[in-house]
Amino acid sequence: MLRVSQGGQGGPGGPVLLKYRIYSVLSLLFLLAAGLLLLLGLARGYPEFSAPLLMLLLALWLTWRAITRRGTKRVIAIALLVPCLVFLVIAVIWASFDWRVLGGIAVALLASNLLSSGALSWSHLPGDIHSVKKAHNPYLIINPRSGGGAADKAGLLSEAKRRKVKLHVLGPGDDLAQLARDAVAAQADCIGVAGGDGSLAVVAKVAIEHDISFVCIPAGTRNHFAMDLGLDRSDICAALDAFGQASEWNVDVGTVNGQIFLNNVSIGAYGKIVAEDEYRDKKLSTMLSRIPDLLGPDSEPSDLQFVDPDGVEYDSAVVIHVSNNSYDLGSVSVGGRASMNDAKLGIVAVVHPDSLGRPPVLRWEEEKFEVRSSVTVAAGIDGEYVQLQPPLKFEITPRALRVRVPTSVQGISPTAKNPSLSKRTLIELCDVARGRWPRTNLGLGRAVRPR
């Protein structure tokens, strides 16, 4: 099979093309200009800028109280939040910032973002992406209930039949995993599923067990996995092109106690919310009604013990979120993953602050992670409620799943194309500017022999 070119780039640690180095240097210069302009604007507006800053902090505090309180306290917080936001706007205008300076900051940040995309996105192209021929015996399982009937609205069934793709529409009582195994037994050489991320994980496990390629059809509600593969989530039928001549590469897969997840596992407060019977049909109202009990002043931390990278032991946590590769929470794609091949679990733990001055939010990456508890742990695995027996052992298996996508998909996620202003982005830009492969994604270039 033919590999897709990486624009003349070598492997990790190899030389970087001059144009990417130029993009990176210019991005850093524009970022520096934005910082200098910000300092200039604050100097000119001092001390007036302190008023909008105080209003902003007050608005954030009132928002938190509106979320974590109930009854009269919630009503009062909301009632005070409205005039606070009005005063915030007035304070910004009163501060008389130089709008030319603000405009310059906006232009500089926009230019830096565009240049950083050009400087870094190439480095997230999977090192083993290659072209494959049309599937001989493709099979598709459609979950008609996912995404509020998204598959039916898009006419996916008739389009799949037109393309001569064998399919099965899930009905009441159907066992999704068994259907996938039956398809493999019937000599399917490529298996896909149209549904939410929970359905994808079930079929992906079967594809891994039998070493056949997997096709993701974004017919769920959020389609996080599809987004991070670079698929167009607004065009469900276009994803069927993956059954024809297509591109293929291998992505990492996370496991918790042997159960795989393609996106993430959340335990603690979120796991308890997902456990509610009303959550599936009334997500927002269920969260608002349960958050005060889980995060409010009278809430009790979940019985979740873990050790952070510095060896510090924690006896409890509010939330622990473990993902298959790290999410960029500040990205334009709102929490996507720049890479599915870093071979690292992304771990975020929210704990109650203590007198030792430890930060309430911890974030790091590991290949393995363990959480202990004295009780059964409620978890949301790719959005599906599951009860897990402790200890919870998280691991990541590099390049375990062969994903197959339309040839129009480059294998670069929206997050990689629009990196956020973060420490990781700055490190990558500095590396590329110096002519080095970004140290934060060295695993992307690991060669995997095309099938």
Series of mean pLDDT values for 10-residue runs along the chain (451 residues): 42 75 95 89 69 82 78 86 86 71 87 91 85 95 90 92 93 93 95 92 95 94 89 92 95 96 87 54 51 59 88 88 87 72 91 65 93 92 89 96 92 83 87 85 45 36
Position 184 scores a pLDDT of: 95
Domain ranges of the chain: 18-124, 130-252+401-445, 264-398
Nearest Cα to Cα of residue 200 among 411, 367, 403, 339: 403
Question: Which segments of 11-86 are extended strands (E)?
Answer: none
What separation in angstroms does the CA of 166 have from each of 186, 209, 238?
A: 11, 21, 17
336, β-bridge pairs: 328
Residues 6+ apart with CB under 8 A from 169: 142, 144, 157
What is the amino acid identity at position 424?
R
| Amino acid at residue number 234 | S
Identify whether the C-beta of residue 420 lies closer than 8 Å to the C-beta of residue 331.
yes
CA dist 279 and 256 (Å) reads: 23
The pLDDT, as a whole number, for residue 389 is 95
pLDDT at position 307: 94
Whether the CB-CB separation of 346 and 394 falls below 8 Å is answered with: no
* Alpha-carbon 370 to chain mean position: 21
In three-state secondary structure terms, 190 is: strand
Contact by Cβ (8 Å): 393, 375: no
Q: How far apart are CA 301 and CA 351, in angstroms?
A: 8
Residue 329 amino acid letter = L
| DSSP H/E element including 170 | none
For residue 447, give the nearest of 7, 17, 10 by alpha carbon.
10
Separation CA 203–CA 140 (nearest Å): 10
H-only helix segments in 69-175? 72-94, 99-120, 150-153, 156-162
Under CATH, to which class is 264-398 assigned?
mainly beta
Is the Cβ–Cβ distance between 127 and 11 less than 8 Å? yes
- Cα–Cα distance measured from residue 93 to residue 86, given in angstroms and rounded to the nearest whole number: 11
Q: Which residues fall within 8 angstroms of residue 308, CB to CB, at 6 or more apart?
A: 314, 349, 362, 364
Q: Residue holding tokens 């009005």?
A: 86
**Residue partners of 149: CB distance under 8 A and separation at least 6:** none
Domain 130-252+401-445: what homologous superfamily?
Probable inorganic polyphosphate/atp-NAD kinase; domain 1 (3.40.50.10330)
Q: What is the pLDDT of residue 263?
A: 94
Among residues 387, 362, 393, the alpha carbon closest in space to that of 272 is found at 387
Determine whether 147 is exposed, middle or buried from the number of CB atoms within 10 Å of its CB (0-12, 13-18, 19+).
buried
Nearest CA to 266 among 346, 373, 381?
A: 381
pTM summary value:
0.79
Q: Indicate if 264-398 has the same CATH topology as 130-252+401-445.
A: no
- How many helices (H) and strands (E) the chain has is answered by 13, 17
